[in-house]
Structure 1
């Protein structure tokens, strides 16, 4: 039985279409669509293709970086067009991205990325155009950072019976980081009471004993690398706190006593210097005091008293009229040559009366000293 003519015609059209599709441009490197590499390494993103006789237009190969935010535009990284390579579109990748094959039109448009950085993480797309054929392929690249600058430390008192925590932290490294502790001295096994947290890097040693002493090593790791550090644990008997306190008190008292002694000596020295200065400026006792005017006046009055005995009542009136200005003083005892600037003044008896002077009657004496 022969098939109907319409069925034969449909089969012929399907075969023709299949033949046309097989002869169009195709990308053959579709085996791997995800890559994970470490920072600083090199990666090759594959993009191989096959052309057909029907693809007669110019060949264009583009590598673009698709941003995580769909609102942003795609960034052209490198392009091959009209037998020329253009790689100055994306400054961050200049001289780090290049075609693997020096002649991409041969069917290999793979991309090499040198010295990978964390910022290179993203989705890359390879587009191959040769009219009328157009094909593309997406590849996800993840750049991981190896653990680096890992530091180990000890938290807690390293005394017998106390809980001690060993810490391990990497300053660099892509998540997820995993930490593992091991003992590298003694039995090389972690104590039975230890508790390890691989995510935080903490190793808790409960109720520590002398047997826990030794060197411990921590290894930080992720999918692309490892880094490590070590620390020395020395578990000792408890410290005598009472003795430390007593020693501190005694030391403080000794310090205060020394300080007080220094202050006392300083004050004593200062007082001695002050006393010496005062004694140096005192007046000596064996030096006679200077003459005063009162002593001169007394000597004059005494001499006059001795002469009053020879006066008689007849000359008493004349004596009472003697001006008070004639009483000698210390200044008047000086000769004119000694004090030319000042001359003794003379005041008459009437003037003295107007000034309030009172005449005094002095009794006369006989030659034998009796009062007349």
Structure 2
């Protein structure tokens, strides 16, 4: 009896094991060999999500992609969904119009997601969820969007004179870390080794040159790179002899003095011209306002006749002999250079005395 019962138990265990071996595990997502993906900004990326179904999965098929934010305080963000044979892609404004399922028919077993024109803000953890009751599976992929180095600038810090210490600097205005810098000196179509006295810092892009000489002159190139791209800039180094500072100072002083002399000359000249103009105006004003007009010849003739008349009146007849011989025609004529206005005034009673003198009779 005991042996019969133990044999039945072993048979039952074998049957159960065989039954379980014939049962499938249901919905499965094929593990990806790219759990972490790095891409450059502006490129396209495909996040893989392949799955298989079993006969036991009889419920409706739902596929959902979500973005898990870096900040744990924020909730997951659904970005695209497939359900009831329809695609819904208006959940996430940040990727609107830039994402789509790689396969137009995701129920075929390919739920991979394409993201176009990548941006640095697309960096994050993406999770693919596939549901078909009673099976539920998911898979996560880490996406890092890197920015290529761009707008790199080269410049020199320090005086480019023989014997000085110089620093050649290189900096990319754009680019995701970690950035690596390298310098090279260009000669024709090739390159040559950097100066023996130089020291390069690959992390900061600084190339220090000690005790610079004219041999260090030339064209240098700086290359900055990261995992997704490179950028380059150029710099021309011209090491020259020291400048004669004393000569420059002397020249500056002489130039300043000459400038001051010229300025003083122009100011003096301007003041002189101003005084001359002012004097001319004053003289012109005095002639017009202060100087009386010259005496007319009429008044001269009148005074001459008056003086002769007074002389005649005071002389005795015995003394008149000399004066009678004097012709009255020698009296200055009032008609000499007389204006019409003076001629009209001459006929007035004030001037008749000159004519009455002619009627005087000498006794």
Relative to the length of structure 2, the TM-score reads 0.75
More helix by share: 2
User: Structure 1 residues 211, 23: CA separation in 2 closer, same or farther (over 3 Å shift)?
Assistant: same
- Matches of 1:152 and 1:233 in 2, distance apart? 11
State which of 253, 256, 263 in structure 2 corresponds to 1:259.
263
Aligned to 2:317: none
State which of 223, 228, 241 in structure 1 corresponds to 2:227.
223
- Matches of 2:109 and 2:256 in 1, distance apart? 88
- Matches of 1:68 and 1:76 in 2, distance apart? 15
- Matches of 1:179 and 1:30 in 2, distance apart? 34
State which of 83, 88, 91 in structure 1 corresponds to 2:90.
88
What is the deviation of 1:10? 5.2
What SS is found at the alignment partner of 2:246?
A: helix
Aligned to 2:325: none
Aligned to 1:281: 285
- Matches of 1:164 and 1:184 in 2, distance apart? 18
Aligned to 1:72: 74
Of residues 91-100 and 200-209 in structure 1, the stretch that sits farther from structure 2 once superposed is 91-100
Aligned to 1:116: 118
What SS is found at the alignment partner of 2:79?
A: strand
Runs of 4+ with >6 A deviation: 1-4
State which of 188, 210, 214 in structure 2 corresponds to 1:210.
214
What is the deviation of 1:17? 4.5
RMSD of aligned residue pairs (Cα, Å): 2.1
On the 8 A contact 1:27/1:47 being kept in 2, the answer is yes
State which of 213, 231, 236 in structure 2 corresponds to 1:232.
236
What is the deviation of 1:29? 3.3
1:117-174 Cα shifts (integer Å, max 9, x gaps):
1010000000000000000001000000000000111111111001111110000000
What is the deviation of 1:70? 2.2
Residue-pair matches, total: 287
On the 8 A contact 1:154/1:167 being kept in 2, the answer is yes
User: Structure 1 residues 6, 194: CA separation in 2 closer, same or farther (over 3 Å shift)?
Assistant: farther
Q: How does 1:1-372 map to 2 (within 5 A)?
A: 9=12, 13=16, 16-17=19-20, 19-20=22-23, 22-185=24-187, 188-282=192-286, 283-284=290-291
- Matches of 1:278 and 1:247 in 2, distance apart? 47
1:302-335 Cα shifts (integer Å, max 9, x gaps):
xxxxxxxxxxxxxxxxxxxxxxxxxxxxxxxxxx
Aligned to 1:318: none
What is the deviation of 1:284? 2.9
What is the deviation of 1:74? 1.2
- Matches of 1:67 and 1:11 in 2, distance apart? 49
- Matches of 1:18 and 1:238 in 2, distance apart? 90
Aligned to 1:367: none
Relative to the length of structure 1, the TM-score reads 0.73
User: Structure 1 residues 237, 116: CA separation in 2 closer, same or farther (over 3 Å shift)?
Assistant: same
- Matches of 2:240 and 2:79 in 1, distance apart? 62
What is the deviation of 1:32? 1.9
- Matches of 1:25 and 1:56 in 2, distance apart? 10
What SS is found at the alignment partner of 1:182?
A: strand
Aligned to 1:307: none
User: Structure 1 residues 183, 79: CA separation in 2 closer, same or farther (over 3 Å shift)?
Assistant: same
User: Structure 1 residues 5, 231: CA separation in 2 closer, same or farther (over 3 Å shift)?
Assistant: farther
On the 8 A contact 1:28/1:49 being kept in 2, the answer is yes
Query: Unaligned 5+ residue runs, structure 1?
Result: 289-372
What SS is found at the alignment partner of 2:187?
A: coil
What is the deviation of 1:272? 1.0
